[in-house]
Amino acid sequence: MRIRGRVISKGYAEGEVIVSRRKFSFLGDVDVESGVVVAEDSDISGERIANKIFIFPHGRGSTVGTYVLLRMKKKGTAPKAIINIETEPIIAVGAIIAEIPLMDKLEINPLEVFESGDFAVVNAYEGYVEKRD
Amino acid sequence: MFLTKEEEKLLERGDGVSKCMEILVALGEIFDAERLIPIKHAHISGVSYQNIGDEGLEWLRSLNVKFTVKTTINPAGMDLDRWKEMGIDEDFARKQMKLLNIFKEMGAELTLTCTPYYIYRPSIGEHLAWAESSAVIYANSVLGARTNRESGISALASAVIGKTPYYGLHIKENRAPSILVKVECDCDPSILGYKIGSEIEGIPIFKFNRKLSDDDLKALGAGLASTGNVAIFHVIDQTPEWNDFEIPSEKIVVDKLELNFDCDPDIITLGCPHLSKEELIKVYNLLKNFSGKVRREFWIFTSRKVYEDLIEVVDYLEMKGVRVFRDTCMVVSPATRRFECVMTNSGKALTYLPKLRGVKVLYGTLEDCVRKAFE
């Protein structure tokens, strides 16, 4: 099933999905060295987002967070791709400078389609996301 | 968002310019901007090596771009000449200078101040792309210029392209006040902003029972922007656009402000945002009432421009034992973290010092700060 959406940062990725239903900040919510979520109030606390397709509703927090995605990319702990319900500037600019594909405003709410452990393709050149079995 | 043929071409070059264009287009899409508009001046934040780290430094270098409009930059992590005296180590200093050289090669003026409006005063209606929340709110509110609250990177992208997405505070009707704040106490504007920034939603219009100075307005804005997502305010009978809109019906009254800061300061700091000439002279006049030198560490932060214009005042302050630093401030420099309790008159510093430097804070007016220095 192909779900179309808006491309914010171009790129292509395929891999395992991890889903959080809470707002997320790359500054403070995740350990840059390991890519493990450290925020205790997160629904994916203790799980790794490194090299996964990370789906969450929306970003939050300070613009200082922009460089964190870049740092994670250099250390190999960044997500492969990000999908938001509706993105905001910190995540958007962070994804562009770190060259991580980012899409939002999918025609179907991604939180209703995907669960952690699913396999997905993100084609953020052509603007669609695909769920694979 | 609509892009001209030239703008489309910039997107397809595959170099640093394209990256900057990509950032502006993404922001334009997110905020439903219809197009890009030209700007006169960009002001970039995130200039302290502390904020940017090695990865940020490498990324900036790899961009390999030049600025196409007037571009100024925020304070760095240290005074470029007196960093040793601030307790900054050599490794930090070397990396900070490296970072500044990258900005210089891109074409920035190394203003190293959060008060670029003392160097280039924007005029009413002028479009800017400024980062640094205290400068953004001053430009919009006190000067009537138009800028959104940019991040360091989006301001940099605008400096390269010479444009910004047309949305938010660039559009007149989005600048209308939505809440009236009646101030019935003789409260320090700096603390007023600090306290109510987090309590209000939307754009405030203030009614005071006295006329505020430009320095009061600066302090009010810096406090507001530090605790709230506020990028413009109006003041009845004072700010340039207050009379362009209807007074909102929603109202709050402030008749007192309660503060609970308590510690014994091992350092006193002024200059967040950087001191104006008037403020520096005020400190000079207050210091003249005390004999001898200050008895506590007393650091003042200002821009090179103000420092050089008032060099005799600075010399007197230094003779009294006050250190007058340029290019940096207590919030962006790692120097402040080795103290335990920092006294300041700045609402913005009260917000950020505990968060970023892990120190306790004590509030006092500018007069209180000078008095405490001799205790």
A66 to chain B, closest Cα gap in Å: 8
More reliable by pLDDT, A60 or B75:
B75
Predicted local confidence at residue A62, as pLDDT: 64
Least confident of A62-66, B183-187, B207-211: A62-66
Predicted local confidence at residue A64, as pLDDT: 65
Chain B interface, Cβ < 8 Å to A: 19, 22-23, 26-27, 29-30, 46, 51-53, 55-56, 59, 131, 151-154
What pTM was estimated for this model as a whole?
A: 0.93
Q: How far apart (Å, rounded) are the C-alpha atoms in residues A76 and A79? A: 9
Three-class DSSP labels, B24-64? HHHHHHHCCCCCEEECCEEEECCCCHHHHHHHHHHHHHHHC
Tokens representing B47 are 């200039």
Torsion of CA B88, B89, B91, B93, to 10 degrees: 30
Q: How confident is the model at residue B325 (pLDDT cuts 50, 70, 90)?
A: very high
Q: How far is CA B305 from CA A131, B259, B272, B309, B325, in A?
A: 59, 34, 16, 6, 12
The residue count for chain A: 133
Q: Do A96 and B19 touch (CB under 8 A)?
A: yes
Burial of A132 (0-12, 13-18, 19+ CB in 10 A): exposed
Domain count, chain A: 1
Least confident of A62-71, B74-83, B99-108, B357-366: A62-71
Among candidates B26, B53, B154 on the partner chain, residue whose Cβ is nearest the Cβ of A67: B53
Q: Which candidate, B117, B112, B303, B361, places its Cα nearest to that of B217?
A: B117
The mean per-residue pLDDT over the stretch B325-337 comes to: 92
Strand partners, A37: A30
- Does the annotation mark A116 as catalytic? no
Q: Do B152 and A66 touch (CB under 8 A)?
A: yes
Question: In chain B, pLDDT over 70 holds for what percent of residues?
Answer: 100
A88 to chain B, closest Cα gap in Å: 7
Are B373 and B298 a contacting pair, CB within 8 Å? yes
Cis geometry, peptide bond prior to residue B204 (ω within 30 degrees of 0): no
The mean per-residue pLDDT over the stretch B205-234 comes to: 96
Question: In chain B, pLDDT over 90 holds for what percent of residues?
Answer: 92
Helix ranges restricted to H, chain A: 66-75, 89-98, 110-113
Q: Which candidate, B299, B152, B120, B167, places its Cα nearest to that of A67?
A: B152
pLDDT tens-digit readout, B220-264: 999 999 998 899 999 999 999 999 999 999 999 999 999 889 999
Inform me whether the C-beta atom of residue A97 falls under 8 Å from chain B C-beta atoms. yes
Mean pLDDT taken over chain B: 96
Predicted local confidence at residue B231, as pLDDT: 95
The mean per-residue pLDDT over the stretch B300-324 comes to: 97
Q: Which candidate, B358, B352, B302, B350, places its Cα nearest to that of B332?
A: B352
Instruction: State which residues form the domain around A13.
Output: 2-132
pLDDT tens-digit readout, B296-305: 999 999 999 9
Strand partners, B343: B268, B362
The mean per-residue pLDDT over the stretch B275-286 comes to: 98
Are B25 and B132 a contacting pair, CB within 8 Å? no
Q: How far apart (Å, rounded) are the C-alpha atoms in residues A6 and B192? A: 42
pLDDT tens-digit readout, B159-175: 999 999 999 999 999 99
Strand partners, B252: B181
Q: Which candidate, A39, A37, A6, A1, places its Cα nearest to that of A126?
A: A6
Q: How far apart (Å, rounded) are the C-alpha atoms in residues B101 and B4? A: 33
Inform me whether the C-beta atom of residue A84 falls under 8 Å from chain B C-beta atoms. no
The residue count for chain B: 375
Q: Indicate the pairing of strand B163-165 with strand B36-38.
A: antiparallel
What does the buried/exposed string (b/e) look like for B293-302 if buried means 16 or more CB atoms within 10 Å of the residue's CB? ebebbbbbbb
- Chain A hits for B20, Cβ within 8 Å: none
pLDDT tens-digit readout, B20-49: 999 999 999 999 999 999 999 999 998 999
Predicted local confidence at residue A63, as pLDDT: 64
Q: Which candidate, A121, A124, A119, places its Cα nearest to that of A17?
A: A119
ipTM: 0.89
Q: Do A87 and B30 touch (CB under 8 A)?
A: yes
Q: How confident is the model at residue B337 (pLDDT cuts 50, 70, 90)?
A: confident
Inform me whether the C-beta atom of residue A99 falls under 8 Å from chain B C-beta atoms. no
Packed helices B16-30 and B152-161: angle between N→C axes, nearest 10 degrees: 120
Q: Which CATH number does the domain housing residue A14 bear? A: 3.50.30.10
DSSP string, B282-314: HHHHHHTTS-S--SSEEEEEE-HHHHHHTHHHH
Tokens representing B276 are 């104006």
- Residue A44: DSSP 8-state: T
- Chain A hits for B27, Cβ within 8 Å: 89, 92-93
Question: What does the angle CA B169 – CA B175 – CA B181 come to, to the nearest 5 degrees?
Answer: 130
The DSSP H or E segment spanning B180 is: strand B179-183
Q: Mean pLDDT in each 10-residue stretch from start to end of chain A (133 residues)?
A: 95 98 90 94 96 94 77 95 94 94 97 97 98 89
Domains belonging to chain B, first-starting first, are: 5-172 (3.30.499.10), 176-254 (no CATH), 267-373 (3.30.499.10)
Q: How far apart (Å, rounded) are the C-alpha atoms in residues B359 and B82? A: 23
- Chain B hits for A96, Cβ within 8 Å: 19, 22-23, 26
The active-site residue, picked from A34, A42, A62, A116, is A62
Inform me whether the C-beta atom of residue A103 falls under 8 Å from chain B C-beta atoms. no
Torsion of CA B5, B26, A80, B15, to 10 degrees: 40
Are B172 and B28 a contacting pair, CB within 8 Å? no
Predicted local confidence at residue B245, as pLDDT: 98
Strand partners, A19: A55
